[in-house]
């Protein structure tokens, strides 16, 4: 039994090496340049809104919140129009990491599972990716708050 398992593991290891050799490498440099450009441009648009809201007399925090909400709206709209997945194909992490990508990950499953109804379709699937983000976000936030409270 042990002998057999060992042989199996050796075969798998050997096979994995073969795959690493044969499989096409991702074009890392090209992907990074695209991610940098797309991510940078999205943040630039964010900066324009931030500037607009600040000069309209909103405080720092309010302006930031309004900017975040605006970018979420844009990300959600572009997903609905079927444009965001095309941006994502080229932008990679450049379109996943900004808050517009968070909006995309909310709308994409919700829209796609609408055919399964408004409770188990839209309502449940809307949190497919957003759920884990919020869960871990809140956990870490409360943890940080408690640690701060205990230390001070």
Of 115-134, binders to other proteins (CB under 8 A) are: 115, 122, 126, 128-130, 132-134
Name the nearest CA neighbour of 37 among 26, 29, 48: 29
Window 36 to 65, contacts with other proteins (CB under 8 A): 36-44, 46-51, 61, 64-65
Pattern 6-35, other proteins, x by CB under 8 A? -----xx--xx-xx--xxxxxxx--xx--x
Window 78 to 97, contacts with other proteins (CB under 8 A): 79-82, 84-89, 91-97
Write down the residue that tokens 């990679």 correspond to: 92
What is the full DSSP assignment across 104-136?
Answer: HHHHHHHHHTGGG-IIIIIIHHTTTTHHHHHHH
Q: How far is the CB of 128 from other proteins (least distance, A)?
A: 8
Q: How far is the CB of 131 from other proteins (least distance, A)?
A: 9
Residue (6 or 89) nearer to other proteins, CB: 89
CA–CA dist 135, 97 (Å, integer): 17
The tokens for 59 are 């405080």
Q: Report the residue from 2, 3, 57, 149 that binds other proteins according to the rule CB under 8 A.
A: 149
For other proteins, how many residues bind (rule: CB under 8 A)?
99
CA–CA dist 54, 104 (Å, integer): 26
Q: How far is the CB of 6 from other proteins (least distance, A)?
A: 14
CA–CA dist 126, 103 (Å, integer): 10
């Amino acid at each position: 039994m042990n002998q057999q398992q060992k042989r199996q593991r050796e075969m798998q290891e050997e096979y994995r090496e073969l795959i690493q050799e044969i499989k096409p490498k991702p074009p890392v440099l090209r992907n990074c340049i695209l991610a940098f450009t797309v991510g940078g441009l999205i943040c630039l648009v964010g900066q324009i809104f931030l500037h607009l809201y600040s000069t309209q007399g909103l405080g720092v925090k309010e302006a930031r919140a309004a900017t975040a909400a605006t970018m979420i709206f844009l990300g959600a709209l572009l997903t609905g129009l079927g444009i965001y997945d095309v941006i994502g194909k080229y932008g990679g992490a450049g379109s996943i990491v900004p808050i517009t990508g968070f909006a995309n990950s909310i709308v994409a499953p919700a829209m796609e599972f609408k055919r399964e109804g408004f409770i188990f379709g839209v309502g449940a699937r809307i949190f497919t990716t957003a759920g884990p983000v919020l869960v871990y976000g809140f956990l870490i936030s409360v943890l940080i708050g408690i640690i701060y409270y205990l230390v001070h």
